[in-house]
Amino acid sequence: MASRRFRLGPSTFASDEAKVGLERQQVRLRPPASSPGPRRVSPYDDVTILDAIGHTPLVRLQHLAADARNEVWVKCEHLNPGGSVKDRIALAIVDAAEREGRLAAGSTLVEATAGNTGIGLAIVAALRGYQLVCVMPEKMSVDKRRALRALGAEVVVTDNAPPDDPRNFKHVARRLAAERGALLTDQFNNVANPDVHERTTGVEIWEQMQGRIGAFVAGVGTGGSITGVGRALKARSSTVKVVLADPVGSRLAGLVNDGALGPDGSYLVEGIGSSDVSAVFDPDVVDWAETIDDTLSFDTAEALVRREGLLVGGSAGTSVAAALRVARRDDVDGPVVALLPDGWDRYYTTHFDPAWRQKKGV
Ligand code: PMP
């Protein structure tokens, strides 16, 4: 039988697994999710929305990189079912906890989240029959809080407290999980986070680019995506560069460029940058950091929406602004790939609202 092929990057999906999925189940436009678990390839088997996680398109910027030396491609993680890259880790973390026997029917999950991991976990929890509590710092958009509540999660909002303060969202989540006898899914320390990016996101990027990659650019929240993708790419190429896109005001660029955390400042872009370093972030995988201020991040997100049809949020603006810089460097040889972590729908009341930007002065 001739194989059906879908162009989702510079290459078609060529793996046998993908072909089998596409041949047997013509209603599916993407191969099945890569998280461990039963693969369902027949239209008569159960297929759930969890099977649509991952295998996102990789597309080339058509306008914004026109004057750059190197091409810029973007990995469209905002097209996951929950609208962010975090669907991958939500599924992988729950799969791992189930395999380890740490979850029972009706168990409660607790996560400290900027919002996206919560949305991913809420979807997985709905399908698998768990309860979810999300602990979010006050800084994160109201849109994300509303989404989580609409998904049935309990949302606990904390002060924007520094990492050593007991009111910090990570500490509050840990305490709540202990009090309620719930599972702390713990994206900041859970190896299932970088591992799923190494096994899926990184391998997809390598295959979609057919190994032609000069540099990979991403921001760091937990560091799971840059660490996992960076490891997968560096295991396959000795020349690929991995670049951190860090908000001005985050301490992480200092760690990567100077070997010591930089000064702690404030910034408005959500989900990336940090005043501490998560256990899952491996700075050794990163070659250097580019720093991007809020105005450039938000302007770039707006340009991605209006000029490229990529309906993404502010941290995608940060990573593409950095990627455009990287693509102009003489010492980068080959296409630059940037990660688009989430969609614009969670920022309607923040940086996609001109009045909000004016009020904040960015
Ligand atoms: N962008 C956004 C909007 C996020 O919510 C996150 C995760 N907090 C990231 C980027 C960074 O992803 P990671 O945790 O894999 O470093």
- Each domain of the chain, given as residue ranges in start order, spans 53-81+191-360, 86-184
From the CA of 114, how far away is ligand 1's center (Å)? 8
Going by alpha carbons, the residue nearest to atom 3 of ligand 1 is: 271
Counting from 1 in the atom list of ligand 1, the atom nearest the Cα of 86 is 7
Q: Summarize the confidence of residues 74-85 as an average pLDDT.
A: 98
Euclidean distance between CA atoms 155 and 146, whole angstroms: 9
C-beta of 341 in contact with ligand 1 (< 6 A): yes
Euclidean distance between CA atoms 14 and 206, whole angstroms: 12
State the pLDDT at residue 275. 81
From the CA of 271, how far away is ligand 1's center (Å)? 5
Pair 187, 228: CB distance under 8 Å: no
Residue 19 has pLDDT above 60, yes or no: no
DSSP string of 140-180, one letter each residue: S-HHHHHHHHHTT-EEEEE----TTSTTSHHHHHHHHHHHH
Counting from 1 in the atom list of ligand 1, the atom nearest the Cα of 228 is 15
One fold for 53-81+191-360 and 86-184: yes
State the pLDDT at residue 276. 86
Give, in order, the Cα–Cα distances in Å from 36 to each of 76, 103, 199, 284, 333. 22, 16, 10, 28, 35
Pair 72, 60: CB distance under 8 Å: yes
Euclidean distance between CA atoms 9 and 1, whole angstroms: 23
pLDDT category, 62, cuts 50, 70, 90?
Answer: very high
pLDDT category, 192, cuts 50, 70, 90?
Answer: very high
Going by alpha carbons, the residue nearest to atom 5 of ligand 1 is: 271
Structure tokens at 275: 């005043």
Return mean pLDDT, the chain. Answer: 90
Q: Summarize the confidence of residues 229-246 as an average pLDDT.
A: 98
Give CA torsion, residues 301, 225, 89, 19, to 10 deg.
90
CATH fold label, 86-184: Rossmann fold (3.40.50)
C-beta of 114 in contact with ligand 1 (< 6 A): yes
CATH 3.40.50.1100 fits 53-81+191-360, yes or no: yes
From the CA of 268, how far away is ligand 1's center (Å)? 14
- Residues catalogued as catalytic: 86
Euclidean distance between CA atoms 37 and 43, whole angstroms: 17
Report the candidate in 106, 337, 332, 91 with the shortest Cα–Cα distance to residue 207.
Answer: 337
pLDDT category, 119, cuts 50, 70, 90?
Answer: very high
C-beta of 221 in contact with ligand 1 (< 6 A): yes
Residue type at 102?
A: R
This prediction has a pTM of 0.89
pLDDT category, 223, cuts 50, 70, 90?
Answer: very high
C-beta of 119 in contact with ligand 1 (< 6 A): no
Q: Summarize the confidence of residues 241-251 as an average pLDDT.
A: 98
Helix (H) or strand (E) holding 227: helix 224-234
Q: How many CA atoms lie within 13 A of 203 on its CB side?
A: 14
C-beta of 315 in contact with ligand 1 (< 6 A): yes
Euclidean distance between CA atoms 302 and 347, whole angstroms: 11
Least confident of 1-10, 56-65, 128-137, 155-164: 1-10
From the CA of 340, how far away is ligand 1's center (Å)? 10
Pairing mode of beta strands 131-137, 154-158: parallel
